[in-house]
Amino acid sequence: MRISTFFYTIKQGFINIFRNKWFSLASIATIGACLFLFGLFYAILTNFQNIVKTAQEGVSVTVFFDEGISQERIEEIGVLIDKRTEVSKKRFISADEAWAEFKEEYLGEYADGFTENPLADSANFQIYLNDVSMQPALVTYLEGLEGIRTVNRSEVTASTLTGVNALVAYVSVGIIAILFAVSIFLISNTVTIGISVRKEEITIMKYIGATDFFVRSPFVIEGMLIGVIGALMPMGIIFILYNKVIEYIMQRFSTLTKLLSFLPVETIFSTLLPMSIIMGVGIGFLGSITTVRKHLKV
């Protein structure tokens, strides 16, 4: 493509937007509304996943050893545990540490009546997982190791968090698909109107030898420009509102500060902004290119 043709295509793309300004505004508004909802959903989803991840980090599998097991065997079991891909980290708690934690949490001053450690055989490994969905495989492996008396785990918590993650993934795909379909439909209608208005001009251009690419390009540029504008506007609004909403929630519901940890806006937008621009351009491109192919047969 020559430079003059390139700039002509860009110019015509802008002209098309203003020539069909009401339909262009309708498309921009629709894409903006869709990506605004997508941005809100993404921000909520990302924070929710962060909360779930934090909850997952607190889920552990506890391994208790056979009575009389040697320290060497405990260390061997520790090495085997470290090699498992499911394991994020582990913590060894000796019998004395277990008794000290138990006294502090449950007995307080009443613990002075105990002269011996009643938890003498309670040394254990607390194992934290990379993903709670991996818990069953790890538990099965641990139960097969020699020297392990019992393996405690929270099956309800693990299955609940795994189910929540799966549900969020399915809902995400469904919402994104709906937003894409609606936006592409609006872009398609806008480009169709533009082609109808310029039908005679396009026919003349084709008769004097203009290539399909030359005729098609301005409409594709128009759709992509509409997509970019429709993506940037809602992102600016979300960027301004995000911190204000988080600040309001933390002030209005102060009890949540110990339970919830919201991500900073920079973390959200490091992924959301480029994703939204790509989606906007992609929606504009798909909506325009498919419509142009249908209507440029003269």
Encode pLDDT of 2-54 as tens digits: 676 666 677 776 776 777 677 777 778 877 887 888 888 888 878 877 777 77
Beta bridge partners of 61: 127
Q: Are 92 and 34 in the same domain?
A: no
Q: Are 117 and 25 in the same domain?
A: no
Q: Are 174 and 10 within 8 A, CB to CB?
A: no
Report how far residue 208's alpha carbon sits from residue 188's, in angstroms, rounded to the nearest whole number. Answer: 27
Confidence (pLDDT) at 134: 80
pTM, two decimal places: 0.60
* Residue after which a domain boundary falls, among 101, 132, 153: 153
CATH assignment of the domain containing 140: 3.30.70.3040
Give the total number of structural domains in the chain.
2
Confidence (pLDDT) at 289: 74
Strand order in the sheet with 60-65: 87-93, 124-129, 60-65, 148-152
Q: Are 170 and 260 in the same domain?
A: yes
Q: Are 128 and 172 in the same domain?
A: no
Q: How far apart are the first and last CA of the chain?
A: 23
Q: Are 223 and 187 in the same domain?
A: yes
Report how far residue 4's alpha carbon sits from residue 122's, in angstroms, rounded to the nearest whole number. Answer: 80
Task: Write out the residue range of the structural domain in which residue 119 sits.
Answer: 60-153
pLDDT (tens digit per residue) in 102-155: 666 656 665 565 656 656 677 888 888 887 778 888 888 888 888 888 888 776
Confidence (pLDDT) at 120: 65
Q: Are 167 and 279 in the same domain?
A: yes
Q: Are 70 and 145 in the same domain?
A: yes
pLDDT (tens digit per residue) in 205-225: 677 776 777 777 777 787 788
pLDDT > 90 in the chain, percent: 0
* Residue after which a domain boundary falls, among 153, 184, 201: 153
Question: What is the mean pLDDT of the segment spanning 258-268?
Answer: 77
> Residue 262 carries which DSSP code?
P
